[in-house]
Amino acid sequence: MAIQWFPGHMNSARRKAAETMEFIDVVIEVLDARAPEASANPMIRELRMHRNRPCLKVLNKTDLADPIITQQWLDFYNAQANVAAVALSCRSASDAARIPKLCQPLAPHRNSTHKPLRMMIMGIPNVGKSTLMNMLLKRRVANVGDEPAVTKSQQCHKLSDKMTLTDSPGLMWPKIEFEEDGYKLAAIHAIGRNAVFEEEIAEHLANSLLARYPERLADRYGIDVAGMDGMAVVEAVARKRGCMRGGKIDIEKAAMILLTEFRSGKLGRISLESPASRESMIKATQKTPEEGIGPEHTLE
């Protein structure tokens, strides 16, 4: 199943972001630390590169991600020109407070009341942008919810006499290039539920966990995962948790249990991709010389 999700209001959100980009100095791109590149919107990169704007990549929800792999992503991003990266939890006030100081070196010429540093928070839905905004302003100014696309419009606020901060709606892109990314985005709950089938997402997630963290499944659900595939794991979860309907296994309920416990961290700190695994995925989707090779994909 190829997952695509691009609600109509995101067209106007993209146009507004393009307009605002002219008047800001640093883009704060919030990513999900469990899948940083899958949750990186290529349109954001296109917009900021067009204006030559530096970027602070914030790997949010780091408390849910594998710390070893998160460090690999930080090394990857910090090696890029005009980019800095930090891993944190936007729910932590002390973590969020670090953001402006990390942005300042990216635009050192903007550091006065005459020329305040103008920052804009961007990212896909449900990665924590509004939470970060509220933490930085120390008050609730942006709606926060556990469903994608809660924020629908831009908001600009004064952080201090030398800094302003603009929030923006979660922005998806019209076509998710890699099918694998669609599954990752659905697993981390960055895509609306009306665009996916939970059973299929849970099966795909279970297959990823079998390949990366089989011991987490075994420990959490008390099952022997040897020889299992993703659907067998979901069925085993159903039996262990008593998910039955009319005397039959309730796959839908078991799928939601697996997804919810992954998203909440009850399965432990898990990352769905690393720089190396992403590179392998991209190479696997490229055509062979005999088939004809198009423009190479780059990670940025």
The predicted structure's pLDDT at residue 166: 92
The per-residue b/e assignment along 175-184, b for 16 or more CB within 10 angstroms, e otherwise, is ebebebbbbb
The predicted structure's pLDDT at residue 150: 45
The predicted structure's pLDDT at residue 138: 85
As a whole number of angstroms, the distance between CA 15 and CA 171 comes to: 11
Q: Which long-range contacts (CB under 8 A, 24 or more apart) does 276-282 make?
A: 276/72, 278/37, 278/38, 281/178, 281/180, 282/178
**Strand pairing partners for 86?**
58
The predicted structure's pLDDT at residue 17: 87
The predicted structure's pLDDT at residue 149: 43
pLDDT values of the chain reduced to their tens digit, one per residue, 300 residues: 567 665 656 677 788 888 999 999 999 999 999 999 999 999 999 999 999 999 999 999 999 999 999 999 999 999 999 999 999 999 899 999 999 999 999 999 999 999 999 999 999 989 999 899 889 988 776 555 444 444 445 778 999 999 999 988 888 888 898 999 999 999 999 987 766 789 999 999 999 999 999 999 999 999 999 999 999 999 999 999 999 999 999 999 999 999 999 999 999 999 999 999 999 999 998 854 444 444 434 444
As a whole number of angstroms, the distance between CA 34 and CA 42 comes to: 18
Which two tokens mark 260? 């919810």
The predicted structure's pLDDT at residue 296: 39
The per-residue b/e assignment along 54-80, b for 16 or more CB within 10 angstroms, e otherwise, is bbbbbbbbbebbbeebbebbbebbeee
The predicted structure's pLDDT at residue 62: 97
The predicted structure's pLDDT at residue 289: 47
CATH 3.40.640.10 for the 9-167 domain, yes or no: no
Fold of 197-283: Conserved Hypothetical Protein Ylqf; Chain: A; domain 2 (1.10.1580)
CA 173 to the chain's CA centroid? 13
- For 218-240, the DSSP string reads HHHHT---TT--HHHHHHHHHHH
Tell me the domain boundaries of the chain: 9-167, 197-283
Same CATH topology for 9-167 and 197-283: the answer is no
| Count of residues in the chain | 300
Query: In the block, which residue shows the tokens 């990266």?
Result: 85
Terminal C-alpha separation, the chain: 27
- Nearest-CA neighbor of 42 among 226, 246, 297, 256? 297
